[in-house]
Every structure is written in structure tokens, then in C-alpha cells.
Amino acid sequence: MRYTPLSASTYIEHRARFRRHLDKGGLALFHSNDIMPTSADGTMPFKQATDILYLCGIDQEETILLLFPDALDPKDREILFVRETSPEIAIWEGHKFSQEEARELSGIANVQWTSAYEATLKRLVPQAAMLYLNSNEHLRQSNEVETRTDRMNAAVRRQFPLHEVRRSAPIMHRVRSRKTAEEVEQMRRAIAITGKAFERVCRFLKPGVMEYAVEAEITHEFIRNGSRGHAYTPIIASGFSACVLHYIDNDQACKDGDVILMDFGCEYGGYASDMTRCLPVNGRFTDRQRAVYNAVLRVKNEATKLLRPGTMLADYHKEVGKLMESELIGLGLLDKHDVAKQDPERPLYKKYFMHGTSHFIGLDVHDVGLWTEPIDEGMVFTVEPGIYIREENLGIRLENDVLVTKDGQDDLFKDIPVEAEAVEELMAAVRKEVEA
């Protein structure tokens, strides 16, 4: 295994959190992702379904987790099914979990081969009062393919049509949004690697290099530090491209006098990091670039202070909008008299700052969480305000990941430079090292 997984005690705690929300007699099922095909005999790299990874840590295809706290036989209250290996599989695909290895990692005593799943389900469902089936209920999800979970859920509904079915997703959104201590440490590992990649870019960037070459430097640093790569498709956007929010072509040359916006983050052990930094390609911001940069930085710093237990995210985003409004007036991009007369439903700042400021982050970059309940201790959010001035070929976004604590916040990226002067000094220092 390339990364260090969480401890069995943490996976045991995660399952206990989930079980506390089950009604009496509930039996819950969780399935791994498929290995997705490309064309011919090609496949995409395997990416485990994050809910089952959260609950047991088994990062392998054809894995099933059954949780049935009220089963008559204590051995049936947690069952993990893993794919049975063979000498042929070992030759062609490499190592797969043995039952003992899966038992040790997950903390689940009853580990069986996946081939035993159907018979076990037939035996246990008659004892259950209701079935809890999982699904991807993320606000942004848009899925045109049938997942393994979809197929298995449909099969269970056909096989047991008279059983009441309930949703696991709302429970998972609740328990996953509050990170355990080991989860935060895993995110810190991902962030540390992201920081190394940022320093590498500061050493590499200069006029004339291609955006994809910058991406390659980042990818190299991720892989060499034990990451499987990017937590999401990186945005490496110089000049006008920084004004395209989801720009991922990364195929333009970085020009002297431009600013490059880089939105990237390392994945480590399944956990994501998400950082945005902006660098002057030639090492020095112009006065205008610095003014816009500092305006975004002030919004980021003040927005971070607003992420406190008890705050509603909807209210938080409104307050950040007011902060941005003030900065845009100061930059001469908005007129205060126009702002005073604006339609509250269509605030003028949206012309230059058209996306949200924060989202949950964890096993998924846009992690699950309850947007209609107050922020709570243990949640981790991005903070990523931006100003995009298309007519000036300038886009600035700055982003850190922030852990909400009992008394405030812990900025997980606080050791990675973000102030304009610090960024310029870092670029100058590492370039001197290269020249020496």
C-alpha cells in the first residue's frame, strides 16, 4: 500500500457513529466502486467509494460492508466481504487483501469472501425490520452511468420487495462532516505534500514555460511523496485563463507580466487537500495586481474568522458577500451608489466574484455535509474568495483549508506562504538557489 491508512480504532469509531443513527432492526449495506472501463481492454485507475472507505478502510474493488447491530448472532452484526484472490490474480493484478489483513485494517472480526454475500444476505434480511441502502446524494452530483451501488441496491429491492427501505446518505453526511483526529492528521499529510509542490513551482516558474509543464512539476512532487496524485483535476491558469473558473486545458504559455492562478491539491490516503495560490510569472506583482491580490487576501482572512460553531453557512456566505462588496468598491470596480440601489437577490459583486466561498472537504474535495444545520466543531471547510476581471486579463483566487475548532479555527495551510510579499520572497529565494 502506497499510503499509511488510518488505524482500526478510527474505523471502529466511524462505524459506531453510523450505528447510533440506525433505527432498531436496521440492516445497512455499503458497496465499493466498480473498476470503470475506457475502451478496448483499458480501465481507469480504481477509486474507492468514499463511504465504504470511511467505514472500513478497505481500498479494493468488490468489497461489501454489512452492518446489522440487532442481529441475533453477535458475529452477524458486522460483516466485511472482500474479493477472494487466487494465484492467477496474484500474477496478473498483484496483491489483494487476505481475510486476516482485512480484519486487521478494518477492526471487523467477521471477514468473508464476496462470494458468500448472497447467501448471507438471504439468511439475515428476514431478521431485519428495515434496510438502509446507500446512494450518492451529493448536491452537485450528476451521474449518467450505473454504479455498482445502483445495481446492488436494485437487486436487493427486487429480492426483498416487502421490506421498508431507508436512506443511509443523510446519516453519512452527518457523521462524515465532523472529522476524527486521525482524519485531520491524514489531511495534514496531504497538505504538507501540496506545500512541497507549491515550493517546487516557485522554483520552476518563469516566462515562457507552459501551463502543463507547471502541472507536471506538481504531479511529480505528489507522486514522489507517496500520494496517488491530484485530489481533483488541477487548474493551472495564466493570464485571461484565470477568469475561467473551471479551466483545465492547461495548454497556454505563461507570459511575462501575467499572474498564474493555480488551484490544486494532493490526495493522500483517500483524503483531499484543496489550495489556490496566484504567482506573478516574472516574480513581481504590478501595483494593480498587488491591489487586487491584497483585496482577495483580506476577504479570505476575514471570512476565515467567520467560520465558527453555531454559524449557518447561508448567513456566512452573505457576510462574505458584504466583505467582497467593500473591496470591489475600493478597487473601483463597483460604485457605492449603485451598490446601495442594487437588487438584493442579484448583488453586483457577483460580476467579479460569482462562486461560493466555502465547501466541506475531506474524503471528497466537495465533501458531504449538512448545509441546513449550523457549523460545528470538527468540520473542515475551504475558504476561497476570488476576483476575476476579464477586461484586465486578471483572476485572483486564494484558498486554504480550515478546521473549525471549539473556540474558532485552525488554518491547516497556515505554514504555506500566501501574502504577496511572502510569495515574491519565496520565488526570489528559490531562484537564487537554482542559479547557485
Q: What is the pLDDT of residue 185?
A: 98
pLDDT tens track, the chain, 436 positions: 789 999 999 999 999 999 999 999 999 999 999 999 899 989 999 999 999 999 999 999 999 999 999 999 999 999 999 999 989 999 899 999 999 999 999 999 999 999 999 999 999 999 999 999 999 888 777 777 889 999 999 999 999 999 999 999 999 999 999 999 999 999 999 999 999 999 999 999 999 999 999 999 999 999 999 999 999 999 999 999 999 999 999 999 999 999 999 999 999 999 999 999 999 999 999 999 999 999 999 999 999 999 999 999 999 999 999 999 999 999 999 999 999 999 999 999 999 999 999 999 999 999 999 999 999 999 999 999 999 999 999 999 999 999 999 999 999 999 999 999 999 999 998 777 766 6
List Cβ neighbours of 327 (8 Å cut-off, separation of 6 or more): 295, 296, 298, 299, 387
Helices (H) and strands (E) in the chain, counts: 13, 17
Residue 242 near residue 284, CB atoms below 8 Å: no
The pair phi, psi for residue 380, each rounded to 5°, is: -120, 130
In whole angstroms, give the CA distance from residue 344 to residue 111.
Answer: 57
pLDDT at 143 (0 to 100): 75
- 181-435: CATH topology is Creatine Amidinohydrolase (3.90.230)
Q: State residue 144's pLDDT score.
A: 79
Start-to-end CA distance of the chain, whole Å, equals 38
Residue whose C-alpha is closest to residue 30's, from 172, 182, 186: 172
Phi, psi of 238 (to 5 degrees): -100, 150
Residue 52's H or E segment, with its range, is helix 50-56
Q: Options 3.40.350.10, 3.50.20.10, 3.40.605.10, 1.20.1510.10; which CATH number does 8-177 get?
A: 3.40.350.10
Helix (H, G, I), strand (E, B) or coil at 31: strand
In the prediction, which pLDDT does 272 show?
98
Separation between Cα atoms, residue 46 and residue 293, nearest integer Å = 39
Question: Residue 83: exposed, middle, or buried by beta-carbon count in 10 A (0-12, 13-18, 19+)?
Answer: buried
Nine cell digits for residue 288: 494593480
Distance CA 384, CA 356 (A): 8
For 389, the 3-state DSSP assignment is strand
CB atoms within 10 A of CB 101: 15
Closest CA to 47 of 267, 212, 247: 267
Q: Which is nearest to 314 in space by CA: 358, 354, 353, 351?
A: 358
Residue 86 sits at φ, ψ, to 5 deg, of: -155, 165
Can you give the pLDDT at residue 435?
67
- Do 398 and 300 form a contact (C-beta atoms < 8 A)? yes
Q: Do domains 8-177 and 181-435 have the same CATH topology?
A: no
Angstrom distance (rounded) from CA 5 to CA 363: 13
Q: What is the pLDDT of residue 434?
A: 65
Query: Domain limits of the chain?
Result: 8-177, 181-435
